[in-house]
Amino acid sequence: GQNIDQPTEMTATEGAIVQINCTYQTSGFNGLFWYQQHAGEAPTFLSYNVLDGLEEKGRFSSFLSRSKGYSYLLLKELQMKDSASYLCAVRGSGNTPLVFGKGTRLSVIA
């Protein structure tokens, strides 16, 4: 089976840094994806990791440890517009569809 866990909700202050964790157990692994979803809107792609280490893209970075089945999304210099749900998704064996976690709802407060 496949299992992806993320915290349900987080709150952080504008200008701060927040780390959203994701742990996974899947049969096979062909990469981990992070998406951002504002309420009532489509998820938008943020990052992809398939090798261990940190991938940086502007204010957002994503880290992967395959041996630990663990990833995190790091958001720096938080802005109010970063208030959204962040979805962790894994591609298992072969070219199978992404399996999504339930998402972490991030609230950025002044």
- The token pair at 50 is 């398939």
Q: Which of 87, 90, 106, 108 binds other proteins (CB under 8 A)?
A: 87
Contacts of 101 (CB under 8 A, 6+ apart): 4, 5, 6, 22, 24, 87, 88, 89
CB 91 within 8 A of CB 30: yes
Q: Which of 64, 72, 101, 108 binds other proteins (CB under 8 A)?
A: 101
Does 43 participate in binding other proteins (rule CB under 8 A)? Answer: yes
Does 91 participate in binding other proteins (rule CB under 8 A)? Answer: yes
Stretch that binds other proteins, among 13-21, 35-43, 61-69, 76-84 (CB under 8 A): 35-43
